Every structure is written in structure tokens, then in C-alpha cells.
Structure 1
């Protein structure tokens, strides 16, 4: 019975995938004809079916860009970039979309040891750092056994030094794995969708206004209180924004 259910589910999924591919081709044809609104309707039909991909988000972003929809174009370019962070075409197009925004916010770059640690951590994913740590532990065990059972002094010396080096690398890789996990968890980006919205000093309407933000600006969400989000800008400024004024990027 379970096998029959699995086969039926697989068959339905295949039909849905084939249907979405046909809709995707139709949407692309409409886009190439300059009918961007109709193309968006087709793309959104695919999204509503639960299918997500960098190519789909990228095409949705391009359609919104053609229609001068600032926030949606940046939002979907950013979502595409989350799925394909090294894609040059996405990176190039998102620059054009960001040029439509009003807010001019400077980035505060990391410096010194903090920058070195972050750059090293970002060389690999959490999974790859974890696999490296496990691999080094296995290597340590093998080298330690060679050291323990070898009768040659030179082999013992080589195995001992190599085993110590491998366990050191294992601990470093484990540290980078946990740091990568923390970076990913702390990274909660969102895009401002309100045309203009006040940023409050506290999470309530009566609090003083610290500054204003406009559509398309990217922020980091630090905390949530009721219907308010505490955000941070790339220049270090913080404040509270209504949850309705932004859309979280890591929601798929």
C-alpha cells in the first residue's frame, strides 16, 4: 500500500513539474514580447504551486524591474542570490535594481582579525566544515594507530606530528563550522516594501521617529516584538519598523 501511495505521489509530482515547465516557457515568451504583467501572472502561478528556483526568482525580478517595481525586483533578485550566491548575472542585475532605491546607506566593512575569521568561515558551508572536521578526526585515528604500532622511529615521529596537526585542523574546522552556523542563523535579511516608512526608537507608534526608510532598502532583522521588527542597516543604525512594511528574504 505504501509503495502504491509513493508511486501515485511521484506520478502527480512529475505531472506538476511538467505543467510548471510549460507555464515557465509561456511566461518567458510573454516576457520576450514585452508583456511583463502577464508574464508575472504565469511566474506567480508556478510559485503558488510550491516550486522555487533561482531561475524562477530571477525572471520574476527582471519582470518587476521592467515594470519599475523597486521593492519586488530587489526582493526576488535577493532570493535568487540566496539560492545561487555566485551567479554573475544575478549579481549584475541586482546592481541595476539597487540603483532605483532612494536610501543611500554606506557599508561598514569588517577589519582586522574579525574580517579574516569571517572570510575564512565563508570559504565553505556548514556541512563542508563539519565534513572536514570529521575527516581530520578519522585521519588522526589512522595516524595515531600508525604511531602506536610502528617500530620505526622516523615513522613514529612523522605519524605523531601529522596526527597532532590533523586533530588541530579538526578543532579549527569544527570551530569554523559552528561560526558558520551562527552567521547563517543571525543573517535574517528583509526588504522594505513600504514606499516610505518611519523607523521608531521603540516598538510602538508613540515613540520618537529616528529616521525614514524607503522601498527596496535591505535591512537585517535583529528582534521581533508583537508587530514590530528591530532592524539594523549596513551602516550600523538600528530602529524599529512595522512588520507589515518589510518582507523577510529567507521565507520560501
Structure 2
């Protein structure tokens, strides 16, 4: 009986909290509409403190920061929104505008032949996208194999059998690509530089020589951490070390 009462209380509490966050979100959105961007950000942060997250929340926070010319936070929250929904068109478009405010103009290293093939094939869809194709392809196999099994005409059986085999091949490739994309995503950690100007060191030591400079809003890849520093890599392939408090991991 006590367990049932506890579950009922927990369910009720979650419902009340969810409603409370919804109300706060609506008030924040109204603040944004009225041009009170600081107030909107404050309310959105209250929701985040409650361990709530959504594409809309991150996207709205990014927009509010962008309106205030907060370069690093706007880029950071657009990136957070895109982690939840990589195909969010508005976030993708606005991120371009936010990136245009950054100082660092870093050229990407030209991909090798294999990398180009990988980007043009596996990189065409997210892990979830390839997983959906895998599900569809296995359904195609089942439908055509059933048709093959019950068909009486030899030519029809050959066509349906070939189609079912193609479904299996598509499933194998899409499942494999989904696994590779998921593995790539889980193994890659990125961060946004929040310091107005950040000195990238050659070693994880405050007294080490400066390798190069970065500025707020630049996206970096995190490779390692040591002694309060992150080892990072930028899109042109250069690497160095930066104090952890100068970055905010995505």
C-alpha cells in the first residue's frame, strides 16, 4: 500500500513540476517577445537548473543571447539544440549568422579521398536516420519474401526473391552505417570557447609557450584533459592546450 501511495505521489509531483516548467517556459517566451531578453534567459536557465531540456528551450535561449550579441552563449545553445535535432533548419540557419560574429576565421583541412567518400555516404544521414532506413529495409525484405513464398509464377518469384535480397543488403549497410555514426558521435567531444581571448598553450602548463590564439565562440574538438587543461583541436588541424574554465563542453 505504501509503495502504491509513493508511486502516486511521485507521479503527481512529476506532473506538477512539468506544468511548472511549462508555465516558466511560456513566461520566458513572452519576455522574449516583449524584448526582455535578459529576463527570458533567466527563466530559461531556471528550467535548465531543473534538469529539463528540449530543442525549443536551447533554440530560444540561443536566440535571446544572439539578440544581446552574446557570441559564445548563442553559438553554444544553437549547437545544443542541434545535438538533439541535427536537422533543425532554423537552428542551422541562425548558427551561421552567430558564427559570422566570431573573430577566428579557421579554414578546414581538405578531406582525403576516403574522408570524402565517408562524408558523402555515411555522413548523409545521422545514426537515427540510418537506423530508420534499416527498419524500412527489413520490412521490405519481409514483404517481398512473403510475396516470393506465396507466388506461383517463376518469373514473379525471381523478381520478388531478388528484391528481398536487395532489402537484406540495404539493411546490412544501413545498420552498419548507423553503428559507425553512433560510434563517431559518442567518441567525439566538442566545446565552445567562452573566453574573449584564449591563449592556446603548447603544453598543459600556464607557463608553457603560446601555440596560437582563439576567441570566444570558436568551436573546438576535445581530445584529452590533464592538470586542469583540455587538449583541443581546431578545424585546420592545429592542436594545443587550454584551461578548462575557458571552455564549455557541448
The bucket for the TM-score relative to the shorter chain is 0.7 to 0.9
Distance 2:54 2:193 in 1: 22
Secondary structure of the 1:224 match is strand
Distance 2:4 2:187 in 1: 41
Distance 1:223 1:105 in 2: 21
TM alignment of 1:68-217, pairs within 5 A: 68-110=69-111, 112-127=113-128, 129-130=130-131, 133=134, 161-162=162-163, 164-217=165-218
Pairing 1:29–2:30 present: yes
What is the Cα-based RMSD across aligned positions, in Å?
Answer: 2.9
Q: Would the alpha carbon gap of residues 139 and 83 (structure 1) be closer, same or farther in structure 2, given more than 3 Å must change? A: closer
- 1:229 Cα deviation after fit: 1.3
Distance 1:147 1:89 in 2: 45
Q: TM-score, normalised by structure 2?
A: 0.83
Unaligned runs of 5+ in 2: none
Distance 2:142 2:90 in 1: 45
- 1:79 Cα deviation after fit: 0.9
Count of residues in Structure 1 that have an aligned counterpart in Structure 2: 249
Distance 2:47 2:194 in 1: 22
Q: TM-score, normalised by structure 1?
A: 0.82
- 1:141 Cα deviation after fit: 8.7
Unaligned runs of 5+ in 1: none
- 1:244 Cα deviation after fit: 1.2
Range with greater deviation from structure 2 (171-180 or 151-160): 151-160
Q: Would the alpha carbon gap of residues 204 and 133 (structure 1) be closer, same or farther in structure 2, given more than 3 Å must change? A: same
Aligned to 2:49: 48
- 1:45 Cα deviation after fit: 1.1
Distance 1:84 1:177 in 2: 16
Q: Would the alpha carbon gap of residues 142 and 103 (structure 1) be closer, same or farther in structure 2, given more than 3 Å must change? A: closer
Distance 1:127 1:85 in 2: 10
